[in-house]
Amino acid sequence: MDVLLNDDERAVAESAREFLEGECPPSLVRAMEKDPLGYPPELWKKVAELGWQGMCLPEQVGGSDMPLVYLGLVLREAGRALAPLPLHSTAVASLTIARDGSDAQKHQYLPAVVEGKSVLTWAFTEKDPRYIPDAIHMSARADGNDFVLDGTKLFVDNFEAASHCLVVARTGSDKGEKGITLFIVDTKANGIGHTPLVTLAKDRQSEVTFKGVRIPKANVIGPVGEGWPVVRAMVDRGTALICAQMIGATRKDIEMAFEYAKFREAFGQPIGAFQSVQHMCADMQIWADGGELLTFEALWKMDQGLPASVEVSQAKAFCNEKCEAAVRNSQTIHGGIGFMMEFDLHLWFRRVSSWTMRLGTSFEHRARIAHALIDMPGEVILGRPVPAVAEEEAAPTAKSRAVSEATA
Amino acid sequence: MDFAYTPEQEALRREVRQFIKENVTPDVVEELDPHAGAHRPRGQTPKTAALYKKIYDRGWLGIAYPKEYGGQGGDRISQYIVEEEFTRAGVPVNLGGSGAPAILAAGTEDQKKYYIPRLIKREVSFCLGFTEPHAGADLANLRCSAVRDGDHFVINGQKMYTTGAHASTHIYLMARTNRDVPKHEGISIFLIPMDTPGITVRPLWTIQNDPIAPPDTTYGASRTNETFFDDVRVHESCLLGEENKGWRVGSMGLNLDRVGASRYLISVRRDEDIVNWVKNNSFNGHAPGKDPAVRDKIAELWIEAQVCRLMTMRSMSIVERGGNFTYEGSAEKVWAPEHGVRVTEAITQMLGPYATLLNGSPHAIESGVFAHNVMGSFQSGINHGSVQVMRDQVARRGLGLPSARRSKKAEGK
């Protein structure tokens, strides 16, 4: 048990921070808000040379096969710098191909990712934004050697930039987990259209329509009709990784408030000397710390091959509310200047806010946690796995003994 | 980054659980809680002495303390595991708040040799003589005086909220040894046997004492006291640290008290209680555990409780690496107690009028622990440094925010 970063982890995080501080000033973030692709391809190549895209991909495709916590640290730093790079969507898709794709798929798609020649994305959400099987209606009808995709996806990241998109669709049944299948789709395939959305983060998101799009059967990831566990794992990884990004961005945002409070004077002293401001700042720090600990525990559990769905939901539900509250406080401490277009703070505020609304609302994540806590058998003990499993795992307590004696 | 215990630590946990099953019986639990039993005698009883000897013989007391002072020279995480299991079983084995951390840090060789092994074996127990009627959060305002008389001091004054003073063998006393300097610079700490002539202990009954709170209540059935010093003569060897340097020594003791298994557990036990209750219970067919609003709240609180756990793990990790807290211990002392209040209050809204029922009442759920916790949970946000003071520390030590301008009076000039 040592929840602090070890030397290797610290080195990766520090070098990522240093690199982005040099390469990714707020002026670049602003420029990319107006750019149709949303990212500078030359920076994408540079980070590939640093090994970021291939960090957690297998060595057989040129990756470094490192644990997810390292990618989490890089995304934390990318979030801190608001790096306008399609790291998250590419990671979600490429990790899924690496873990659940066939060898042929890995060799076909991943080397280009590792080399920084390809951007990937993924499409789950349709009209109903919840991350549950029943929200998927897009149909994939078998026809000869192909599946034919029809339907509409929303909130798809970086579609214009991406070469391929993982698409969740139904090959059978129109409800529940059964019938869900995951496809690799060429974004330039016939029958695909996309419309940009105008978003709070000023990032690149699209509505993507599929009309009779033919996808070869070889492009199915995982089993046909039984793809829900693959999809669930993909969404969980994506959720944990966006938490890391949120934490990084939140840290930078609140640090700006701490610094501002040290020199901005009112009533003859720095506003940071007022306890009302100090206590806001203390809370902001505590919330960011809590979110970070929850996030990295989730990523670490995934690395160990342990069930981590509850931990992922803990992290996202917490970050959704506490990162938002932290950056809101930061706006408050800055006062009017924080809302000025020319002042940089809003770059962080708008993105953190936006990320709280992606990959599962607080309500959804808490519903998952409640299901694991309440609907599964066994006594729940904090610090032990949820749902509770073996009976002998239960610790004897003064109370449980008193109860058993009373009933004996 | 490693969020797991080692196989050896997991094995230790299993051994401790087995030991508890075999050796910790309700009658001994009742006798050994230092705060339980408003009229229990000073020091150990034969039963509690026998239990602690057994635990000590297994090598489970003072695991992270140096061998030369009666500890095991082991790691802090293993000590935490033992503390967690025994605390859950109602057997205090933690040394936070015992005086041991401060004595280890500031004591003379004689003091360390005498007190640390006895504190580890729990033959000696300290109550804390800090607060006074006019010195609470602003502790440095204290007036209790210790006047030098040759190689002795003569102590006069009154201490408030000396929890467990009636049952402790010693008091860890903060007193003023110099009135003519700024207030933080004239304070000293004394380690004094409670049977020294001139010390009088009177109970201060709290809202938890009638009826007596059930086991596990946050700051439940404790008896607190006011303790009077009338011309109490002590030898100068009772000084902990240098004369007039007590403020620094006192803060060291408090800081080490802020982390560990007991501080964490008192804030999260209700989370476990309510989850396990709603899993198995309903009111005449109405199951609160099926209500989406209740489920949402339970999950929210569960996440907060996980943050309590992880902040404790962070503190343990820092200690295990030999580091010092800048603000992390204070952060934990804000988050965990306030969580304890939030979870307690939320549960009252899940159980409605049932949560008003105290220990012994017909229809009381879990012996009335939730009603008692309404009275107890907020105490942990007040004692050992209030959450407001803790936030000041996070902001100033952790984030480097400037101190507020103080009035001349506050400076003690």
Residue B245, Cβ density class (10 Å: 0-12 exposed, 13-18 middle, ≥19 buried): middle
Answer positive or negative: Cα dihedral of B159, B163, B165, B170: negative
Second-level CATH architecture of B127-243:
Beta Barrel (2.40)
Contacting B residues, span 91-130, partner chain A, CB-CB under 8 Å: none
Q: Which CATH number fits domain B7-125: 3.40.50.300, 3.30.70.260, 1.10.540.10, 3.90.660.10?
A: 1.10.540.10
Mean pLDDT for the stretch of residues A347-351: 98
Distances (CA, A) of A401 to A334, A356, A394, A398: 54, 43, 12, 5
Say what the pLDDT of residue A403 is: 43
A373 inside 8 A of chain B by CB:
yes
3-state secondary structure of B265: helix
User: What is the per-residue pLDDT across A141-150, written as a single tens digit (0 to 9) for each?
Assistant: 999 999 999 9
Q: Tens of pLDDT along A5-47?
A: 999 999 999 999 999 999 999 999 999 999 999 999 999 999 9
**Is it the case that residue B392 has pLDDT exceeding 80?**
yes
Q: Does A303 touch chain B (CB under 8 A)?
A: no
CA distance B148 to A64: 69
Task: Tell me if residue B345 falls in helix, strand or coil.
Answer: helix
What is the chain B residue with the closest CA to A254?
B399
Tens of pLDDT, residue by residue over B169-193, are 999 999 999 999 999 999 999 999 9
Asked if B404's CB is within 8 angstroms of A269's CB, the reply is: yes
Q: What is the pLDDT of residues A41-64, one digit of tens each?
A: 999 999 999 999 999 999 999 999
pLDDT of residue A94 exceeding 80, the answer is: yes
Q: Please say if the pLDDT value at position B88 is more than 80.
A: yes
CB B128 within 8 A of CB B162: yes
Dist. CA A5–CA A404, nearest whole Å: 43
pLDDT at A56: 98
Q: Is the ipTM of this complex over 0.90?
A: yes
Please write the tens of the pLDDT for every residue from B265-314. Answer: 999 999 999 999 999 999 999 999 999 999 999 999 999 999 999 999 99
Q: What is the pLDDT of residues A228-249, one digit of tens each?
A: 999 999 999 999 999 999 999 9
CA distance B192 to B173: 7
Residue whose C-alpha is closest to residue A141's, from A97, A101, A181: A181
Question: Is the confidence at residue A390, as pLDDT, over 50?
Answer: no
Q: By CA distance, what is B403's nearest residue in A?
A: A273
Give the pLDDT band (50/70/90) at residue B136: confident
Residue linked to tokens 């008193």? A402
CB contact under 8 Å between B401 and A69, yes or no, is: no
Query: B interface mutation test: which of A283, A319, A323, A373 has the most B CBs within 10 A?
Result: A373
To the nearest whole Å, the CA of B331 is away from the closest chain A CA by: 6
Contact A247, A239 (CB under 8 A): no
Nearest to B303 among A69, A317, A379 (CB): A317
Going by C-alpha positions, the residue among A17, A92, A99 that lies closest to residue A50 is A17
B344-352 LR contacts (CB < 8 Å, sep 24+): B344/B218, B344/B270, B344/B370, B344/B373, B344/B374, B344/B377, B345/B374, B346/B297, B346/B298, B346/B301, B347/B270, B347/B273, B347/B274, B347/B373, B348/B374, B350/B274, B350/B278, B350/B288, B350/B294, B350/B297, B350/B298, B351/B288
Question: Best of B9, B399, B406 to disrupt the A interface by mutation (most A CBs within 10 Å)?
Answer: B399
Token reading at B161: 């909220």
Residues 6+ apart with CB under 8 A from A315: A239, A240, A243, A291, A294, A295, A297, A298
Nearest C-alpha of chain A: how many angstroms from B21? 7
A:43-82 residues touching chain B, CB 8 A cutoff: 69
A/B interface, count of CB pairs below 8 Å: 207
Domains of chain A: 7-118 (1.10.540.10), 123-226 (2.40.110.10), 229-389 (1.20.140.10)
Cα→Cα distances B56→B49, B72, B121, B127, B396, Å: 10, 10, 7, 22, 41
How far is the CA of B363 from the CAs of A5, A258, B353, B368, in angstroms?
50, 51, 10, 9
Are B125 and B98 a contacting pair, CB within 8 Å?
A: yes
Does the structure show a pLDDT above 90 at A164? yes
* The pLDDT of residue A218: 97
Q: At what angle do helices A309-334 and A228-263 cross, to 10 degrees?
A: 30
Mean pLDDT, residues B215-239: 91
Contact between B369 and B273 (Cβ < 8 Å)? yes
| Smallest CA–CA distance from B268 into chain A, residue | A382
What integer is the mean pLDDT of B326-338? 94
Rounded distance between C-alpha atoms, residue B183 and residue B89, angstroms: 42
Determine, for residues A397 and B313 on separate chains, whether the beta-carbon distance falls below 8 Å.
no
Supply the DSSP string of B195-244, one letter for each residue. Answer: TSTTEEEEEE--TTBTTBPPTT-TT-S--EEEEEEEEEEEEGGGEESSTT
Residues A293, B289: C-beta atoms closer than 8 Å: no
**Domain definitions of chain B by residue range:** 7-125, 127-243, 258-398
Band of residue A392 on the pLDDT scale cut at 50, 70, 90: very low
Give mean pLDDT, residues A261-276.
95
Task: Please write the tens of the pLDDT for every residue from A303-326.
Answer: 999 999 999 999 999 999 999 999
Tell whether A399 lies on the interface with B, counting CB pairs under 8 A.
yes
Smallest CA–CA distance from B336 into chain A, residue: A286
**Chain B residues 372-411 with a CB less than 8 Å from chain A:** 388, 390-392, 394-396, 398-405
- Nearest residue in chain A measured CA to CA from B398: A282
- Considering only alpha carbons, which residue of chain B is nearest residue A375? B279
Give yes or no for residue A406 having a pLDDT over 50: no
- Chain B residue numbers with beta carbons less than 8 Å from the beta carbon of A380 are 272, 275-276, 279
Q: Is the pLDDT score of A402 beyond 80?
A: no
Assigned fold of B258-398: Butyryl-CoA Dehydrogenase, subunit A; domain 3 (1.20.140)
Q: B95 pLDDT band (50/70/90 cuts)?
A: confident
Percent of chain A beyond pLDDT 90?
92
Which of A279, A293, A370 comes nearest B310 by C-beta?
A293
Cis peptide before A396 (omega within 30 of 0): no
Residue B413, pLDDT above cutoff 80: no
Q: How confident is the model at residue A333 (pLDDT cuts 50, 70, 90)?
A: very high
Confidence band of B257 (pLDDT split at 50, 70, 90): low
Three-state DSSP class for residue A92? helix
Instruction: Dig out the tokens for A130 from the structure.
Output: 């919840």
Amino acid identity of B32? L
Percentage of chain A with pLDDT > 70? 95
pLDDT band at B14 (very low <50, low <70, confident <90, very high): very high
